[in-house]
Amino acid sequence: MKSKKLKPLSVEELIAEYSPVIYRIAFARLGNVPDAEDITQDVLIKYIRSDIKFNDEDHRRKWLIRVTVNAINSLVTSSWNKRTVPLDEVCDAYTEDCCEALDIREALCRLPEKYRIPIHLFYFEDMTINQIAEVTESTEGTVKSLLSRGRSKLKEMLKEDDYV
């Protein structure tokens, strides 16, 4: 990600530029639309309320992704979430004992949750391992390990040699 000159964002620009980013991270991790929407709204409200002066676009982007990851972690560890079973869980359709090769959507739904954010940030957001470690507040070693294991699991689920 190259640094662009920072410009003040209107609500419309903020939504156009960052709501898909936040929404996709939340969806990749949580796998359902209502939670992804809630997270997107919470993060953007936090942005509007914050008085942080961002040095550049990279700084703002990283801040938003970090807040998104924290919001997701808060949601999944909240006692309410632990007691709730979503009715429209996307991944519900896929069974654990499926033996045929899955498509990417199914494979991501079956992928253990801890691998989802690092894989998404690395492959979709084009973030470096260092940047992922920064926004997920973990070490580079942990990120490397999660990416490697996540890739192996996806490969295994997709059962295609050319994914290597």
Which amino acid would we find at residue 131? Q
State the Cα–Cα distance between residues 92 and 95, nearest whole angstrom: 7
1 near another protein, judged by CB under 8 A:
no
Minimum distance, C-beta of residue 52 to another protein, in the bound complex (Å): 13
Question: In 3-state terms, what secondary structure has residue 18?
Answer: helix
32 near another protein, judged by CB under 8 A:
no
State the Cα–Cα distance between residues 22 and 7, nearest whole angstrom: 19
Which range touches another protein (CB under 8 A), out of 57-65, 70-78, 79-87, 102-110?
102-110
In sequence order, the 6+-apart residues with CB closer than 8 A to the CB of 58 are 1, 2, 3, 4
| Single residue of 29, 30, 40, 121 touching another protein by CB under 8 A | 40
With CB under 8 A as the rule, give the number of residues binding another protein.
36
State the Cα–Cα distance between residues 54 and 35, nearest whole angstrom: 27
9 near another protein, judged by CB under 8 A:
no
Phi, psi for 105 (deg, rounded to 5): -65, -45
70 near another protein, judged by CB under 8 A:
no
State the Cα–Cα distance between residues 93 and 45, nearest whole angstrom: 33
| Single residue of 124, 128, 141, 159 touching another protein by CB under 8 A | 124
Chain residues that interact with another protein, rule: CB under 8 A: 11-12, 14-15, 19-20, 23-24, 27-28, 33, 36-37, 40-41, 44-45, 48-49, 51, 104-105, 108, 119-120, 122-124, 147, 151, 154-155, 158, 162-164
